[in-house]
Amino acid sequence: MGKLVLLGTGTPNAEFNASGPSYAIIVEDKVYLIDFGAGIVRQASKAYNQGIKQLKPSNLNTAFLTHLHSDHTVGIADLILTPWVLERKQPLSIYGPKNTDDLIFYTLKAFKTDIQFRLNGMEKANDLGIIVNVKEVENDFIYKDNLVKVKAIKVTHGTLESYAYKFYIKDKTILISGDTSINKNIEKEAINVDILVHEVEYEEGLKQRDLKWQKYHKSVHTLSSDLAKLCDLSKPKLLITTHRIYHIDFYDDSLDVEKEIIKREELILEEIKNIYKGKVVNGHDLDVYEF
Position 122 pLDDT exceeds 90:
no
| pLDDT at residue number 14 | 94
Kindly list the domain boundaries of the chain, sorted by start residue: 2-290
Which pLDDT band, with edges at 50, 70 and 90, does 1 fall under? Answer: confident
**Among residues of the chain, what percentage have pLDDT more than 90?**
98
222-281 pLDDT, tens digit per residue, is 999 999 999 999 999 999 999 999 999 999 999 999 999 999 999 999 999 999 999 999
Radius of gyration of the chain (CA): 19
Instruction: Find out if CATH 3.60.15.10 is the number for domain 2-290.
Output: yes
27-71 pLDDT, tens digit per residue, is 999 999 999 999 999 999 999 999 999 999 999 999 999 999 999
